[in-house]
Every structure is written in structure tokens, then in C-alpha cells.
A = this chain, B = another copy of it.
Amino acid sequence: MDTKKIVEEIIENKAEDGGIQQVYFVACGGSLGAFFSANHFMQSEAKKLKAAAINSNEFVHDTPAAMGVNSVVILCSHAGNTPETVKAAELAHNKGATVIGMTYTPGSPLTEFCDYVVGYKFRTDLEMNFSEDKALVPLTIAVEILNQVEGFEAYDKYQDGLNKIDGIIRNAQKQVEQRALDFAQTYKDDKIIYTMGSGAGYGAAYIQSICIFMEMQWINSSSIHTGEYFHGPFEITDLNTPFLIQMNEGRTRALDERALDFLKKYAKRYEVVDAKELGLSTIEAPVVDYFNQTLFTCVYDIYNFALADARKHPLSTRRYMWKVEY
């Protein structure tokens, strides 16, 4: 069933109970980060609908009082077996919420408690269209929900963006190939690399910090919001500390530019990944913000393969995951 029909059916089923009033995005780590664009979209655009992105285990132990028959709970687990996320799905189901499970693995434990199971493509799928990316699928669901519940004026522009994003990303990935190799050589021996981002693109910085630098490369990191940078974090800026700064195309670009201006003056070792330079601006202004995250994440792939290679530390190396109980 396509996203539009799923949302139509949910609204029909909830009609007698007061319709959809809350949307919760629930997952852990990179899967939670993949929801940040969709959650930001709801926070920015919705007039009435409540939305939140919540870590699965927090959702289980500190369940929002509003969660129930008027809620849509969208969960994501790549292998579909993250215990906290499966438990969160069960809880949402038992409270009468409509549960949409996103997983890469059909038939995985997560799907047991789901009213709808939605797949996505992963960046290792050579034939994928980037509009099916893990961050864009929940965004497309959020756009559908908002449009059908409250109306969303830029709905057609969003669909147009979905049509364009694959070509933009493929070009961008080629564009950064040499830069990625240079980045890898420059930073391969660093013990800490900060990421920076803002607005609807922030999730990409979060994922790059916790899933790539920390998890897959054992490099210390934190994702600094470019608006928050000037209110604490910037004091650690010096000529040695490395930053990977992403420049959104869209509303919060001014925040990123201000941070970059500061880096130009007081830092020396920073890498700029700029959505505007990478061609995102062909997507129309009212919706361009929401495509930053997927663009950055897909471009970081090129950087990450190069970095893992230069460090001789494969992205699949773990000391704890898959190895010890926790």
C-alpha cells in the first residue's frame, strides 16, 4: 500500500475517535537520527498536530500521557530486532495507537506489533532511488499526515523535491570524491572530530557523530548545533580541533554561515559540506530544508569510506556490538 493510502486508511479508522492528534517518531541511535528531519518538519509546519522524536527506551519508561488511540507511532529498526524498539511498538499497540514499523528486514520481530510495515532502501542497494532513503520515507509519511489532517500548502513542491533528490545526490557524491580522500588523509590520526549542523539537517550531524565517528571509527565526537555553538561550545575552538560543518540550504543557513565565519577566523582545521554548493537549491524554497539531511548523510558515505580506508579501520569493526551482552 502506498503512503497516501496508508494515511487515508488510518484517518478513516480513527474518524470516530477524534482522528490523528499526535505523531511519535520512536527509535534508537542512527534510526532515531533518521527521524529528525520528519520531526523537525512536524514541529515547523504543523498547526495542531503534536509530534516528538523519542529514544525507544525512554518512550517505554516515560511514555507520553497523550499517546493512545489518537496517535500514530512510527518506529524504525534496521534489522527489526532492537529490543527497546520492539517493546516500544508493543506498548504503542497495546495503548491503541496506530503503529507503523520501518525496517529493512521483512518479517523481523518489530513487524509483529505493526499495523503497517514500510520498507526503505539502504545506501548499499546499488539500484536504490535516494527518495527511498531511511530519512525521507518517514518524512514522506509526515508530509502525508500533515496534508491530510491540516493541509500542507507546499505538498506538490515536496513531491517535486522527491523526484529531484536522487539526481542531486548522485552528482554531489561525485563532486566530493577527491575532497573525501583529502579529508581522510588530513584527519586520519585525529582523536576527536566535532560535527556541526542546524535546523532540519541537524540529524545528519548527529548520525555522523554517534554512528560513524564514535561507533564505527572510535573517534571522540559531539554534534554541535550551529546556533548553540556561540553559547558555550565555541570556547574549545583552536587551531588544532577539527570540525566537520554542514551548511544547510534553507531557513537556518544564516546560523551555519555565522559558525563558519567564526571557524574561518579562529580555527584552521575544518571541512565544509555545503548543500547549496552541492546543488540542493533546485528544490523549491518552502521544502528544501527537509532534503538537507539525506543529502548530507549520503555525501558523508563517500567521506566515511575514504576515512575508514585511510585509517585501516573498517566501518564494520566493533568492540561491543554483536560481541558482548548489554
A-side residues, CB < 8 A to B, are: 21, 28-32, 43-48, 50, 52, 55-58, 61-62, 64-66, 82, 84, 192, 198-200, 209-211, 214-216, 218-223, 225, 227-228, 230-237, 241, 250-252, 254-255, 258, 262, 265-266, 289, 318-321, 324, 326
A192 to chain B, nearest CB (A): 6
Min CB distance A276 to B, Å, is: 15
CA distance A66 to B43 in the complex (A): 9
Q: How far is the CB of A129 from chain B (nearest CB, A)?
A: 27
The reply to whether A220 and B218 contact each other, CB–CB distance below 8 Å, is no
Q: Which residue of chain B has the shortest Cβ distance to A236 in the bound complex?
A: B214
Which of B65, B192, B321 sits near A45, CB closer than 8 Å? B65
30 contacts between A and B (CB under 8 A): A21-B48, A28-B230, A28-B231, A29-B230, A30-B231, A31-B231, A32-B228, A43-B52, A43-B64, A44-B64, A47-B66, A48-B50, A55-B225, A55-B228, A57-B252, A57-B254, A58-B255, A62-B200, A192-B192, A192-B220, A209-B222, A210-B231, A214-B235, A215-B232, A215-B234, A218-B235, A220-B222, A221-B222, A265-B324, A266-B320
Q: Closest 9 CB pairs between A and B?
A: A29-B231, A222-B222, A210-B232, A55-B227, A215-B232, A57-B227, A62-B251, A28-B231, A215-B235
Do the beta carbons of B52 and A65 come within 8 Å of each other?
Answer: no
Instruction: Given the known inter-chain contacts A28-B230, A222-B222, A235-B214, please indicate yes or no for A61 contacting B320, CB distance below 8 A.
Output: no
Across-interface contacts of A62 in B (CB, < 8 A): 44, 199-200, 250-252, 289
Q: How far is B47's CA from A28's CA once the two chains are assembled, in angstroms?
A: 24
Please determine whether A61 and B252 come into contact, CB atoms closer than 8 angstroms. yes
Question: CA separation between A225 and B206, bound complex, in Å?
Answer: 12
Verify B320–A237 contact, CB threshold 8 A: yes
Interface contacts beyond A62-B200, A235-B321: sample of 18 additional A-B pairs, CB < 8 Å, sorted by A: A29-B232, A30-B232, A32-B231, A43-B52, A43-B64, A46-B65, A47-B66, A48-B66, A50-B50, A55-B225, A62-B199, A192-B220, A210-B232, A211-B232, A215-B234, A221-B222, A235-B319, A266-B324
Contacts of A234 in B (CB 8 A): 215, 320, 326
In the complex, chain B residues whose CB is within 8 Å of the CB of A192: 192, 220
Count identical subunits in the complex. 2
- Return A155 CB to nearest CB of chain B, in Å: 14
Quick one: which of B61, B227, B251 contacts A254, CB cutoff 8 A? B61
Contact of A228 with B266 in the complex, beta carbons under 8 Å: no
* Cα distance, A215 to B232, chains bound together (Å): 4
Residues of B within 8 A of A289 (CB): 62
- In the bound complex, what is the Cα–Cα distance between A254 and B45 (angstroms)? 34
C-alpha spacing A320/B237, complex, angstroms: 9
Q: List chain B residues, Cβ under 8 A from A52.
A: 43
In the complex, what residues of B have CB within 8 A of residue A198's CB?
Answer: 58
A227 — which chain B residues lie within 8 A by C-beta? 28, 55-58, 84
Please give, as numbers and ranges, the residues of chain B lying within 8 Å of A233 by CB-CB distance.
Answer: 210, 214-215
Which residues on B sit within 8 Å (CB–CB) of A255?
57-58, 61
Q: What residue in chain B is nearest A210 (Cβ atoms)?
A: B232
